[in-house]
Chains A and B, each alone.
Chain A
Amino acid sequence: QVQLVESGGGLVKPGGSLRLSCAASKFTFRDYSMTWIRQAPGEGLEWISSIRGDGDTIYYADSVRGRFTISRDNAKNSLYLQMNSLRAEDTAVYYCARVAPRVGDRYFDLWGRGTLVTVSS
């Protein structure tokens, strides 16, 4: 069925790096902008980065700009998040989400189940 599946989470030391992946299934991946959203333990949702379908336009929240890099491979139906210089406050479940497709849509109509990133020494 139509789905998103994240992978790549785990335990990493402060200052370390991690690469998250999100595999998309059963929809035309290149037609959709994609997003990473995170949720710290017991906290709310925080948008951190988006990338348009062609990969040419990218946005970041200030909290991750310069440390995280979003990318995609439309041939592999995959979204990525390279996370460098990780901090304890980056500890969270990271969700991959699809942005609804119509021009002007600014919401997320499909979410993955998330992958947990823990930054701790």
Chain B
Amino acid sequence: SYVLTQPPSVSVAPGETARITCGGNNIGSKSVQWYQQRPGQAPVLVIYYDRDRPSGIPERISGSNSGNTATLTISRVEAGDEADYYCQVWDSNSDHLYVFGTGTKVTVL
């Protein structure tokens, strides 16, 4: 089964940059998505196909993917960015066809 590993938490001061990693075996060969889940709310897609943003997602949020690590970058962090973030890939060889990362809680100091 394919495993995606994220750091449990990331802390960042307002105005600074948060980087959230998602590690997986040769993840660079897969398409990676990122979801933001604010407390008590449903997840929201913020990045798809490694680096594309749905309409309404600010340019401050960006993604990259290479080798064994995908990264979600949030620039000029705001209080409203405090949330859990999950990466996701599709793996036809896994029990769970859609594989989610372990999740990272972003805390804005």
Q: Name A's B-contacting residues (CB within 8 A).
A: 35, 37, 44-47, 50, 59, 61-63, 95, 100, 106-109, 111-114
Contact size class for B?
20 to 34
Decide yes or no: A106 and B98 within 8 Å by CB, A95-B43, A111-B42, A114-B42 being known contacts.
Answer: yes
How would residues 87 to 99 of chain B score, 1 for a CB under 8 Å from any chain A CB and 0 otherwise?
0111000011111
Give the CA-CA distance A45 to B41 in the complex, in Å.
13
Q: Which of B45, B96, B103 contacts A107 (CB 8 A)?
A: B45
Say how far A57's CB is from chain B's closest CB, in angstroms: 12
A111→B44 contact, CB < 8 A:
yes
**Is B102 located at the chain interface by the 8 A CB criterion?**
yes
Q: Which of B35, B44, B97, B103 contacts A47 (CB 8 A)?
A: B97
A44→B86 contact, CB < 8 A:
yes
Closest-by-CB residue of B relative to A45 is B100
Give the CA-CA distance A20 to B100 in the complex, in Å.
22
Give the CA-CA distance A12 to B98 in the complex, in Å.
27
Closest-by-CB residue of A relative to B90 is A106
Decide yes or no: A100 and B48 within 8 Å by CB, A106-B90, A107-B33, A109-B54 being known contacts.
Answer: yes
**Is B101 located at the chain interface by the 8 A CB criterion?**
yes
